[in-house]
Amino acid sequence: MDTDNDRVPSIIHCDMDAFFASVEQLKNPELRGKPVIVGGKPHSRGVVSTCSYEARKYGVRSAMPLAEAYRRCPEAVFIPPDFSAYQEASDNMHKIFSEYTPLIEPISLDEAFLDVTKSLRLFGSPLVIGQKIKERIKNELGLIVSVGIAHNKFLAKLASDLSKPDGFLVVTPDQVRELLDPLDIRRIWGIGEKTAQRLYELNIKTIRDLCRLEEAYLTNLFGSCGSQLYLLARGIDRRKVENVRKAKSIGRETTFPTDISDMDDLEKCLLTLAGDVARSLRRERVKGYTVTLKIKYQDFRMITRSKTLDKPTDLEEVIFAEACFLLQKLVVKPIRLAGVSLHNLTDCDEPQLSMFEESREQKAELVKTIDRIKDKYGEKSITRARLVEPKKKPAP
């Protein structure tokens, strides 16, 4: 890459390796070298959030049902997610990123694009910056990140994906065709199983095959997405790194170990979900106008109901109250999954709806205090009385 010409974009894609599982192994060194599966109990009906590379050797993958993961790797250690720990690790990672560029586009907790084009004269070439970031994350955080470097986002992400685990790959403009040509077409953004199957039927299997097709032909097949495929097959991606990337919604959901229909149990679940969502909203410094309740019944029928508020909120009691209002309008029969989310997010500081008489300032200060306690001592350090399980009486 030409380090003397800062007009040529220099994009770094950082993607943490088996992030949730790696954080768990960092918290508990006894788990290092063992197959770790994050998601919940092995016989529950949830899915794998992520797993260590030791578990992947057995064919375990993200989004796989936990029961199937257990069948493939019964000796694995199954752990429920600890999102507060993952958020803390992600925040620390972003602090390191910010020392090299302000242009950071987070994709998820464990993944981000960095535009270091204007940082080269200060810190050196993209290769040097990428190496420094990789080394610092390992030395300071005890975690492993795969790094891809290129002149656009598509190629940078592809580079980090291809070099995993513990990878580091730089793609220069003159290496693009050599890199892309032999790859399966599913390596291109926007090509899912259905699109891939249609291309396979046309004997288009590799990116080299795709590159031989005219743009008009692809547009005729796939509409406006055809033009995107035409460009990406040639390694062309004009999207910029967006350093202010706001989530469109923030939500949480849970799959119950057994179907439930008791209203009190459902409301306790909604209270927990509302608290998690509210905390995430405050962490992102946004509020939401629209509360959405998601329910999946025993027969797998999925429904959602929403209500838009007059003013945005990040308070759990407001979110909980609206979720309960929506729940009351539904037929309560055995439910296997419940979810709560906030949409139409904004960062404006409008007055909040309050369920109580205390002033907005008092409520905001109380919420901040609770957040600080949880940040320091963990999510379970303080909770509502309604969510505290009564102690079981000893057997006579």
Confidence of residue 358 (pLDDT cuts 50, 70, 90): very low
Q: Where are the alpha helices (DSSP H) in the chain?
A: 19-27, 53-56, 66-72, 83-98, 120-123, 126-141, 153-163, 176-180, 193-201, 207-211, 215-222, 224-233, 263-284, 316-328, 360-377
Assign a CATH topology to domain 177-233.
DNA polymerase; domain 1 (1.10.150)
Alpha-carbon span 279 to 269, nearest angstrom: 16
The domains spanning 6-171 and 177-233 adopt the same CATH topology: no
CATH 3.40.190.10 fits 249-386, yes or no: no
Q: Give me the CATH topology for the region 6-171.
A: Alpha-Beta Plaits (3.30.70)
Q: What percent of the chain lies above the pLDDT cut of 70?
A: 85
Give me the mean pLDDT over the 32-58 stretch: 92
Half-sphere exposure of 122 (CA within 13 A, CB side): 7
pLDDT interval class at 107 (50, 70, 90): confident
pLDDT tens for 114-155 read: 999 999 999 999 999 999 999 999 999 999 999 999 999 999
Residues serving a catalytic function are: 111
> Across all residues in the chain, what is the average pLDDT?
87
pLDDT, average across residues 32-36 = 96
pLDDT in tens, 203-235: 999 999 999 999 999 999 988 889 999 999 999
Strand partners, 146: 15
Give 184's DSSP letter. Answer: B
- Tokens matching residue 245: 């990337």
pTM recorded for the entire structure: 0.69
Which sequence spans correspond to the domains of the chain? 6-171, 177-233, 249-386
